[in-house]
Structure 1
Amino acid sequence: MADRGASELSLPENWPAATPDPFLLLNRMGCFVWDLDTGLMHMDAAAYEIFDVLPEEYDNHPETLTGRIPRAESLHLDGVISQAMKKGRSHYGTYFRVRLRNGSLRWTHSTGFIKRDAAGRPRSIHGIVRDATEELSDSTALEERERQHASRRWQTGIVQSTTAALSHARTVQDILDVLKQKHGLGHLGAAHLVMGLVENGRIRVISEGPVDPFERHTLILRFDEPYPMPEVIRTLSPRFVETPQEYADSYPQLWPDVRRVGVTSGAYLPLIAQGRPIGALGLLYCGRTGFDEADRSLLVALGSSIAQNLQRAMFYEQEKDLAEGLQHAMLPRSIPGVPGADIAVRYRSAAVGRDVGGDWYDVVALPGGRVGVVIGDVQGHDTHAAAVMGQLRIVLRAYAAEGHNPAAVMARASVFLHELDTDRFATCLYAEVDLMTGVVQVVRAGHLDPLIRLVDGSCHRVPVDGGLPIGLSAEFGALEYPVRTLSLEQGQMLVLCTDGLVEHPGSDFDDGMHALAEAVAKGPRDVEALADLLCGSADERGGEDDVALLLLNRRGLGAAQSGGRFRQHVAPGDPESLAEARRMIRTAVRAWGAGADAGEIELVTDELITNALIHTDGSAVVTLRVLTGAQRRLRVEVEDTSSALPRRRDATRSEQSGRGLLLVDVLCDVWGVEARGTGKCVWCEFVVRG
């Protein structure tokens, strides 16, 4: 390319001549030819003199002359030449100063002719440069020209910085904040900023400034009203009102307000995006009249930039409103009142980004003074994630209300999501809280561990062995979810949340959990106030993820209630689950007022569970419930998947088994066996005498 360009550039023979052209010399003019392909610029002797350089100091590269021209004026000269080439012009001309060897500055003027090829691409510039000292010798004219140059550079800098700031604005209010900030349009001399947005066939006008020029902060205008904004939106052309008299003559209805705040001129710009008006911008000036051509071009160009960013912000707000509306529609409209507990829930959409998330919470009232609480997060940030979340929330609620134990609820939900036509998975934590006993059964599917705040105000994270996220556990055949049994005393609080409350850019996950525990410990005891505090901190920090939060403070139910029930899944070959079942039995029996018989009840229940695990191939499900009637009784049920009924036998002294049912028969008041569709249930009852 460079070689071809060099060969096409035709210079006069023996150019530059040893003796300059007398006409050019008399007018203190020099010539140059700039090859745009090679980047080389050839100058004659007069040009050397004007730039005050020696031939041996110049290597035909224009960059060598950069040091001779003040930086600001060098940028201005480059801008003039670039604009002429981009807009297809054939000529350009501009003034600039050259720094001489003695340090003084000389005014010069350059005019160039841009030669283009057949395709219209600029290939070279032929021009002259001349000494303009005499024509600018008058000090007043020189100062005025310097002032104009400085003003243009200053205004250009304001426009560039404003345009850069607008690129980061996400909402309409963000754009207004950028335009009225210290380095925004206010420093172009405008005392007031007025923006009109086209909405539903009307113009909603918002005013910003030290004084409201309309006495009301917001106005609604029709397109046919006699005001500047409707006019520029109708005509798609800017309107410059240059004097107070023009305001009074053209817009008599607006003139009283304008005169009241001292406005003397105004520039109204249509904001056009994709060929249609989306609004208008008004800049009102106090103490200034008239707009020259440069002012008008500058403001019109800026209006175009504002329009593009404004449209992006309007799309952002529309999509965000739609996303948040969909998200909130998928969440429970209200949570049920649960006797014995104070519960607070919160959802906050991401501060950054406009996509909807899949975070959710739920509260399910269960029989017998129990409540199920759920916190979860579907993979992704889009409407599909929200749709999956809505379906999954309903399914989890249905399985919990049907009476399934927490492990079964999570496993069934995983199968449902796996069979759903989606590639999404979800993390989830489900806790079933018996508010009468304080026993909490927790199942975790790839989600964050819960936190518990104690009565003394301290707060700690509770590690819970978890399974795979919902959907993935069904895909990989890992549906056995371990159950962790906790004890929640009266006055203690259970804290469940999604990772948006813990994780943020540049932070470690463990540090985030520690910070959350500290915030809960230092926060108020009231669940509503604490929820507001935690979500307020998340709002201030910002982030790219949604936040869901659920707080449950146990107040207790006082006396034992009829219908109290507790269930625990015990897996074969899992001593930890058997130990959890024993702890659950011990805690429930004490809470139900049967502490005097706690040892016997625990022994009998342990025997029934052990028999189920030893004599069947599957797991066991143990259920404790309180029955009321003529006598208050505690019923223990152990279910397994075998249809073979247990039988009593007399064990010899040397045998190590065979005495279990005899022990059951002696210690409990009554026992029996019920056939179930998938196996059997061995049950026993104890009369509560305490």
Structure 2
Amino acid sequence: MPGTVGRIPTPPAPLSGSSTRTEAAAAVLGHDWAGTSLGPRHSWDPAVRAVVDLILASPVPMALACGEDLLLIYNDGYAALIGENHPTAVGRPAVEVFHELWHLPGVGNVLERIYRDGGTFLEKESTLPLVRTGGVVEQAVFTCGYSPVRDGSGSIVGVLAVAAETTHVTRQLQSLGEVAAALAGTLTLDDVARVSLRYALTTFDADRVAFAVDEGGGGWRMVRRIRGELIDEADERLPPLWRRTAADWPDPLVQAARSGTPLIIGTGQPLRESAADRHDQKIVSLAAMPLRASVVRGGLSVGHQAARVWSAAERALLAASAELIGQAAERARRFETQHGTAQLLQRSMLPEHLPDLPRLRIAARYDPGVDGNAAGGDFYDAFLLPTGRLGVVLGDVAGHDVRAAARMGQVRAALRALALSDPRPDAVLAGLDRLVASLAAEAGTPELFVTVVFGVIDADRQELALATAGHPAPLIRRCAPDDQPYAEYVDLPAGAPLGLGARPAVATVRFAPGDTLLLFSDGVVERRRQSLSAGLGALAEAVAGAGSGDPRALCAVASAAVPGTTEDDVAVLAVEHALKPSRSASIEVPAEPTAPGRVRRWLTAQLGEWRVSESVIGAAVLCTSELTTNALLHAGTAARVEIDLSAERLLVSVADSGTRGAVTRAQTDTLSSRGRGLGLIEELSDAWGTDPTVRGSTVWFELLLPAE
């Protein structure tokens, strides 16, 4: 037959019988080759038949581009690579099957050159777009080898292609780089756990992953992720749900962490003795790797619900991952130790509780700058004077170190002592000026920079006396009954900072019921590449537009009033002169499943006794139940629920002592996978926010009361 390849008169040798059981072999053997340039199969050269037999019997992806037209013959492994091109690609010219790729380097030019000139070619890494089953186009990575196929006379009759797809391995290596970058940005063990679990679950296609570290006292704490768990962005920002265990916990993860030796279980019930639920019981194979860290003992485990053989490459990747995670865990442990010291120092410098007065409601907020790891120099205080008036202060000692915090403590203690002796603002700041000058002389440095604003509130006379030494003037939100709220800065010259011979002037202004005083640090209004006047204007606008003059709400509004980030500390103190005395109550609930129900019953009874409308009670109970549930789930500590009812609003706060940081408004869809989320609070409340403190975290919401 004209155009056939290697026609011989002897009968052809049969192809391997085993290959006929594969799908690709059936397509090849069933194809009408007589109508092609190769001619019928029985006329093929024995060398060609031997190569085809090898291809069809091999589990490795292989293909033969045969004859002048480079007609394709391939096996099941290659069929899986070309996706929907199979089985129509059998017997068709390669240029037709791969017309979209033919012009790319390493594809058509290589096949044509080898068929024409001989030689071999190895493409160690080639990225090609492939159409997978279902029509999905994917960029796949291959290692491909090409060599000529010769007939009995030595003539080249085709090109043999042996391909190995390395897409999965390449992606695993890429993900290792990604997790290294993500771990570099972690600060706490909570952060390390979140990144590690998310990475291990996707990279190793696992059904269960776990991360454990030692507690330092012999015990362990472990957190896991299960495939299919609902983990949204808000959950990712909240502390993981750690499980604390004894030192002799029989989990393979702890065994690996304690011994420092990897533990690989290909099949069985590796979690039989330590299973917490059915998810653990379903795990059949498990790989547990120690973190190999000098300071922190811990490990990472990856489990599957089917038997698995871990290749040498996968074991190496898992070991490299555990080493990166171990380094991040060590950094996090050091950070948490330093952070705890800074928090302890900060806690000792700031007031434990602010005065609880019937007509003056007080709240404060402190956000540490930089990375939260250093004790700052900003401080606030509010205290009753012997005359029955209220002293309020907010100051800033330059620096973000232990020395700045210590000086802040000295200034705060001295200010209170001076005010208790003589509460006149100018006299207090004059005494502080002498103290700071003395401290600077003692330290031998002129760089002791301290600013402060101090005021005395007389609720009976509805007056406020203020003096400042280098500090921004306070802001007052005016809200007389039936009038539109507005905000104005007190006309008060800033003067020189303390220690420079300050001679502060005193301004006495009206402070009527409905007004709220706001003291703030410069971290509230100062931003890079933005004028101070722009920041002050944004703050005044935000405070004037607030839904109420509640001090807690205004502290949150003020902290977020100026867009952009700041490396400085943010301190705010607000005092509201209430139109009418408010009523308040609180309840402490333990970290147990019945706590949300107890809170719902208590809140319903308390608000009912206060004759609050049913619509407000319903919204308050729903929101408070959600916040209590999440405080218990994500902090693991007892929660304190406080309610404060005034003539115009109901304020509810839920505080815990276990969380770090704050939930932002960008994460309102779902706070907990077990609850209805902050979207509920967003929908039902008139205002809400979080107050990060050195003692934990407080989430609050405000409901405005309908007009009578």
- Percent identity, please: 29
Could you tell me how far 1:169 is from its partner in structure 2? 1.5
Determine the C-alpha separation between the residues in 1 that align with 2:401 and 2:542.
30
Could you tell me how far 1:108 is from its partner in structure 2? 2.8
Cα gap change, 1:204 to 1:339, in 2 (>3 Å)? closer
- Once the two structures are superposed, the pairs formed by residues 586-665 of structure 1 within 5 Å of their partners are none
Is 1:521 matched with 2:537?
A: no
Matched to 1:102, the amino acid is N
Is the Cα–Cα contact under 8 Å of residues 196 and 280 in structure 1 kept in the other structure?
A: yes
Higher alpha-carbon deviation: 320-329 or 194-203: 320-329
Please state whether the residue corresponding to 1:142 is helix, strand or coil.
strand
- Residue 253 of structure 1 aligns with which residue? 273
Is 1:165 matched with 2:163?
A: no
- Once the two structures are superposed, the pairs formed by residues 22-33 of structure 1 within 5 Å of their partners are none
The match for 1:530 among 531, 550, 553 is 553
Determine the C-alpha separation between the residues in 2 that align with 1:234 and 1:539.
50
Please state whether the residue corresponding to 1:273 is helix, strand or coil.
coil
Could you tell me how far 1:163 is from its partner in structure 2? 0.8
Could you tell me how far 1:311 is from its partner in structure 2? 1.4
Is the Cα–Cα contact under 8 Å of residues 346 and 531 in structure 1 kept in the other structure?
A: no
The match for 1:242 among 232, 248, 266 is 266
The match for 1:387 among 406, 416, 423 is 406
Is the Cα–Cα contact under 8 Å of residues 382 and 390 in structure 2 kept in the other structure?
A: yes
Cα gap change, 1:252 to 1:551, in 2 (>3 Å)? closer
Cα gap change, 1:489 to 1:165, in 2 (>3 Å)? same
How many residue pairs match? The answer is: 426
Cα gap change, 1:538 to 1:236, in 2 (>3 Å)? farther
Cα gap change, 1:393 to 1:287, in 2 (>3 Å)? same
What whole-Å deviation, never above 9, does each CA across 1:359-406 have from its counterpart, x for those lacking one? 111123234453221101111111221111111111111111111521
Could you tell me how far 1:241 is from its partner in structure 2? 1.7
- Residue 302 of structure 2 aligns with which residue? 283
- Residue 177 of structure 1 aligns with which residue? 194
Cα gap change, 1:353 to 1:553, in 2 (>3 Å)? closer
Matched to 2:419, the amino acid is A
Higher alpha-carbon deviation: 392-401 or 324-333: 324-333
TM-score normalised by L of structure 1: 0.56
- Residue 169 of structure 2 aligns with which residue? 152
Please state whether the residue corresponding to 1:190 is helix, strand or coil.
coil
Is the Cα–Cα contact under 8 Å of residues 264 and 288 in structure 1 kept in the other structure?
A: yes
Is 1:191 matched with 2:207?
A: yes
Determine the C-alpha separation between the residues in 2 that align with 1:491 and 1:277.
54
Matched to 1:308, the amino acid is Q
Could you tell me how far 1:541 is from its partner in structure 2? 6.7
Is the Cα–Cα contact under 8 Å of residues 372 and 431 in structure 1 kept in the other structure?
A: yes
- Residue 465 of structure 1 aligns with which residue? 493
- Once the two structures are superposed, the pairs formed by residues 304-323 of structure 1 within 5 Å of their partners are 304-323=323-342
Is the Cα–Cα contact under 8 Å of residues 200 and 302 in structure 2 kept in the other structure?
A: no
- Once the two structures are superposed, the pairs formed by residues 278-677 of structure 1 within 5 Å of their partners are 278-287=297-306, 289-338=308-357, 340-350=359-369, 352-420=371-439, 421-422=442-443, 423=445, 424-455=448-479, 456-471=484-499, 473=500, 478-505=501-528, 507-531=530-554, 533-534=556-557, 537=560, 543-555=566-578
Cα gap change, 1:372 to 1:296, in 2 (>3 Å)? same
Determine the C-alpha separation between the residues in 2 that align with 1:259 and 1:496.
53
Could you tell me how far 1:510 is from its partner in structure 2? 2.3
- Residue 266 of structure 1 aligns with which residue? 286
Higher alpha-carbon deviation: 531-540 or 478-487: 531-540
Please state whether the residue corresponding to 1:99 is helix, strand or coil.
coil
Determine the C-alpha separation between the residues in 2 that align with 1:187 and 1:242.
18
The match for 1:221 among 213, 221, 245 is 245
Please state whether the residue corresponding to 1:549 is helix, strand or coil.
strand
Determine the C-alpha separation between the residues in 2 that align with 1:486 and 1:256.
64
What whole-Å deviation, never above 9, does each CA across 1:433-470 have from its counterpart, x for those lacking one? 33333333221111112111112311122342122212
Cα gap change, 1:431 to 1:292, in 2 (>3 Å)? same
Determine the C-alpha separation between the residues in 2 that align with 1:102 and 1:298.
35
TM-score normalised by L of structure 2: 0.54
Please state whether the residue corresponding to 1:269 is helix, strand or coil.
strand
* Structure 2 unaligned regions, length at least 5: 1-103, 115-119, 125-143, 150-156, 230-239, 582-708
Cα gap change, 1:176 to 1:509, in 2 (>3 Å)? farther
Determine the C-alpha separation between the residues in 1 that align with 2:502 and 2:419.
17
Please state whether the residue corresponding to 1:133 is helix, strand or coil.
strand
- Residue 106 of structure 2 aligns with which residue? 99
Aligned-pair Cα RMSD in Å? 3.6
Matched to 2:537, the amino acid is H
Determine the C-alpha separation between the residues in 2 that align with 1:255 and 1:368.
64
Could you tell me how far 1:101 is from its partner in structure 2? 8.4
Is the Cα–Cα contact under 8 Å of residues 265 and 288 in structure 1 kept in the other structure?
A: yes
Determine the C-alpha separation between the residues in 2 that align with 1:483 and 1:283.
67
Q: Rg: which structure is higher?
A: 1
Please state whether the residue corresponding to 2:334 is helix, strand or coil.
helix
Please state whether the residue corresponding to 1:234 is helix, strand or coil.
helix
Cα gap change, 1:380 to 1:261, in 2 (>3 Å)? same
Determine the C-alpha separation between the residues in 2 that align with 1:347 and 1:259.
42
- Residue 226 of structure 2 aligns with which residue? 209
Cα gap change, 1:540 to 1:258, in 2 (>3 Å)? farther
Determine the C-alpha separation between the residues in 1 that align with 2:360 and 2:570.
23
Matched to 1:548, the amino acid is A
- Residue 147 of structure 2 aligns with which residue? 133
Please state whether the residue corresponding to 2:322 is helix, strand or coil.
helix
Matched to 1:193, the amino acid is V
Determine the C-alpha separation between the residues in 1 that align with 2:272 and 2:424.
76
Matched to 2:178, the amino acid is S
Determine the C-alpha separation between the residues in 2 that align with 1:286 and 1:552.
59
Matched to 1:493, the amino acid is T
Matched to 2:171, the amino acid is W
Is the Cα–Cα contact under 8 Å of residues 435 and 557 in structure 1 kept in the other structure?
A: no
What whole-Å deviation, never above 9, does each CA across 1:548-569 have from its counterpart, x for those lacking one? 21112235999xxxxxxxxxxx
Is the Cα–Cα contact under 8 Å of residues 469 and 495 in structure 2 kept in the other structure?
A: yes
Matched to 1:267, the amino acid is A
What whole-Å deviation, never above 9, does each CA across 1:332-357 have from its counterpart, x for those lacking one? 22223456432222323337341111
Could you tell me how far 1:141 is from its partner in structure 2? 8.8
Could you tell me how far 1:494 is from its partner in structure 2? 1.4
Determine the C-alpha separation between the residues in 1 that align with 2:302 and 2:161.
30
Could you tell me how far 1:542 is from its partner in structure 2? 5.9
What whole-Å deviation, never above 9, does each CA across 1:38-87 have from its counterpart, x for those lacking one? xxxxxxxxxxxxxxxxxxxxxxxxxxxxxxxxxxxxxxxxxxxxxxxxxx
Determine the C-alpha separation between the residues in 2 that align with 1:260 and 1:368.
65
Matched to 1:175, the amino acid is V
- Residue 674 of structure 1 aligns with which residue? none
